[in-house]
Copies of this chain bind each other. A is one copy, B any other.
Amino acid sequence: MSGSCKQTIIFKNRPKVLGSYSLVGPKEGEGNFGKFFHEVLKDDLYGEKSYEKAEFKMMHHTIARAINDAGLKVDEISALFAGDLMNQIISSSFSARALQVPYFGLFGACSTMAESLILGACFVDGGFGEKVACATGSHFSSAEKQFRYPLELGTQRPPTSQWTVTGMGCTILGRKNAGIGIDCGTIGKVVDWDVSDVNNMGAAMAPAAAELLNAHFIETNRKPDYYDLILTGDLGKLGSEILIDLMEYKGYHLGNNYCDCGQMMFDNSQKTFMGGSGCGCGASILNSYVFGRMKNHEISKVLFIATGALMSTLSSQQGNSIPCIAHAVSFFSEKENENV
């Protein structure tokens, strides 16, 4: 790493994406990215008796299929880096139990896809393992039940609310000579602008994304137009507008190359208000649509920023504001005939 870099890690060996997989629920399948996901469930209970068991089954299935997509066997995976939104990240831990691979449990709320990719890339880049799996995901019904109200109550949703995505994403990282790679990552600090409205996550998380992007651009000496695509995970419509404003204030113009997965996930007829949220939102789109466009050489430089709101129901009940974080991963794609 560069000596002056406080938050950004440069990966000398530029870990490569060996495989990926995405799995989403029926509502997400009917949204704007339905045709890009690897698999769409017909029933978000996935044949299980509880939404939590469905969520675990979805994550296990997604990781197993991503390993398969990379042409690997499970016992070739050096480590699994995974986290989710459930208390004590049970979906990740139950997946690790089913897969029987060395496991690092993470919690970064909706920032987990980027957190797992940075730690996984460190692991591969530093030579601690050959191939790693980085995974996260969320389930609308289990998240509503845990963080807000029982679905059966039919509670009215406020206009700033977002819809937790039922979706999973997994990336397999390793070494090879071409394809999609990671050249650097920027690790977030916690940012808290005293927003305490848990129905306005976009506003709470946007300052964390802005601080992170600012650090990334300064430390890498890049500008927004360096990237073909700058993609936040789940700021939603309001949050991504706030981010654009905050970045203008910092002197960076986020143009047509900036998008937010939460804003894009659903179409307006699906009544999700500010759009999608949850760690599955960015994870499912990154591991399907984004990597797909990179493989087709339609885009080659992508900055993926996943933002997370790190409160618990209890911390909110005790009057705390929402601490937020964002991590960024910089992807590039190389054609087969290019040298590394």
Which positions in A face B, CB cutoff 8 Å? Answer: 1, 6-7, 9, 50, 52-53, 75, 78-79, 83, 86-90, 93-94, 96-97, 100-109, 115, 118-119, 122-123, 125-129, 146, 187-192, 310-315, 318, 320, 323, 325
CB neighbours of A102 from chain B (8 A): 6-7, 187-189
Selected contact of A129 from candidates B1, B105, B115, B188, CB within 8 Å: B1
With contacts A105-B107, A125-B126, A318-B52 taken as known, whether A93 is within 8 angstroms of B187 at the C-beta atoms is: no
Report the Cα distance A68→B318, complex, angstroms: 30
* Beta-carbon contact of A109 and B128 below 8 Å: no
List, sorted by A's number, 6 A–B pairs whose CB atoms are closer than 8 Å: A9-B128, A88-B109, A102-B188, A104-B106, A105-B115, A122-B128
* Beta-carbon contact of A312 and B105 below 8 Å: no
CB neighbours of A87 from chain B (8 A): 87-88, 312-314
* Beta-carbon contact of B122 and A190 below 8 Å: no
CB neighbours of A129 from chain B (8 A): 1, 9
* Beta-carbon contact of A88 and B189 below 8 Å: no
Shortest distance in angstroms between A312's beta carbon and chain B's nearest beta carbon? 4
Nearest B residue to A121, CB-CB: B128
Q: Which of A6, A9, A315, A325 has the most CB of B within 10 A?
A: A315
* Beta-carbon contact of A86 and B187 below 8 Å: no
Report the Cα distance A220→B141, complex, angstroms: 45
Report the Cα distance A75→B149, complex, angstroms: 40
Report the Cα distance A192→B93, complex, angstroms: 11
Nearest B residue to A187, CB-CB: B102
* Beta-carbon contact of B52 and A103 below 8 Å: no
Report the Cα distance A203→B146, complex, angstroms: 29
Selected contact of A79 from candidates B83, B187, B313, CB within 8 Å: B187
Report the Cα distance A102→B111, complex, angstroms: 13
With contacts A86-B312, A128-B1, A311-B88 taken as known, whether A97 is within 8 angstroms of B190 at the C-beta atoms is: yes
CB neighbours of A187 from chain B (8 A): 79, 102-104
Selected contact of A119 from candidates B89, B94, B104, CB within 8 Å: B104
With contacts A88-B311, A104-B119 taken as known, whether A127 is within 8 angstroms of B189 at the C-beta atoms is: no
* Beta-carbon contact of B89 and A107 below 8 Å: yes
